[in-house]
Amino acid sequence: MKRFVLLSMIALLSICLIGMAYSAPKLYSKNNVLAVFLTNNSTTSSDMTLIVKCEGGGTTYFDEGAEIKYFIPSANVANWTTKAFDDSSWTKGVSGIGYADGDDNTTIAGPPMTSVFVRYHFDAPNAASVKTITLWFDYDDAFIAWLNDVEVARSDNIKAVAVGKITNWDEGLGITDHESTDTPAGKPNATRWTKAVGTAGGQIMKFDVDVELGDTVSSVSPRAKITSTWGEIKSVR
């Protein structure tokens, strides 16, 4: 009997931990934040790019040409991926951000360059009816993204960082090089998101992310999942 109770408790704890690991991000009608850690495969990489598109329920929340706040770190910054973080002192820019290749609206100096912290603020007026949002990333070389405090996407070449972990600004991730699509900058350039979806160089990544309504305490939706057109990426590989 004691063994049965113990096993039951372990099973219940496992279910709770799974729920915590894959809890859905909240989506609010106003003041959402997508925070993105962008990194190079080396400090001397010849180029860097981050361009993101976000939509839900047929509404585009932001695209290339949207305002961003960004910070080039020389040390870790506490809580910068959270919705509540005060980024008022960060530099304003326009997506995309990076250097070289002619695909950036905001050009930063580099190399050398290790990483950039980027934050997108956006409203979702249809949040009450949205169960899934879609995120597209055109990038070089790698990224991890958080929506309202929850990790929702990462490039396939980041394997050494546990899901949910906030990456050190200069962490050597051992990532492989990934080239962006090199689509010329626009506000937006609609042809960017017609490129092939996948993990190969010159391809974009697309994620469908289940969300919960954050404006009321009574909202309920299925457990979050992070998917892409090329497969599931919930587990660290």
> Domain extents for the chain?
24-232
pLDDT at 8: 42
Q: In the predicted model, is pLDDT for residue 216 greater than 80? A: no
Residue 190 has pLDDT above 60, yes or no: yes
Span 15-62, pLDDT tens digits:
333 333 447 999 999 999 999 999 988 777 878 999 999 999 999 999
Dihedral sign of CA atoms 164, 169, 172, 178 in order: positive
- CA 50 to chain centroid: 10
Residue 223 pLDDT exceeds 60: no
Contacts of residue 137, defined as CB under 8 A and 6 or more positions apart, other chains included, come to 50, 51, 52, 143, 145, 153, 155, 204, 205, 206, 207
What was the pLDDT predicted at 31? 97
Q: Residue 171: which of 38, 52, 79, 58 has the closest Cα?
A: 38
DSSP 1-60: -HHHHHHHHHHHHHHHHHHHHTPPPEE-SS-EEEEEEEE-SSTT-S-EEEEEEEEETTEE
Considering only residues 47 and 194, tell me which one the structure prediction assigns the higher pLDDT.
194
CA nearest to 137, candidates 197, 51, 60, 36: 51
Lowest mean pLDDT among 4-18, 22-36, 147-161: 4-18
Q: What is the mean pLDDT of residues 194-215?
A: 96
Nearest-angstrom CA–CA distance, 22 and 126? 23
The band of 88, judged by pLDDT with boundaries at 50, 70 and 90, is very high
pLDDT value, residue 105: 97
Confidence band (pLDDT; 50, 70, 90) for 112?
Answer: confident
User: 153 with 230: CB under 8 angstroms?
Assistant: no
139 has a pLDDT exceeding 90? yes
pTM of the model: 0.82
Residue 217: predicted pLDDT: 47
Residue whose pair of structure tokens reads 């050494």 in the numeric block: 160
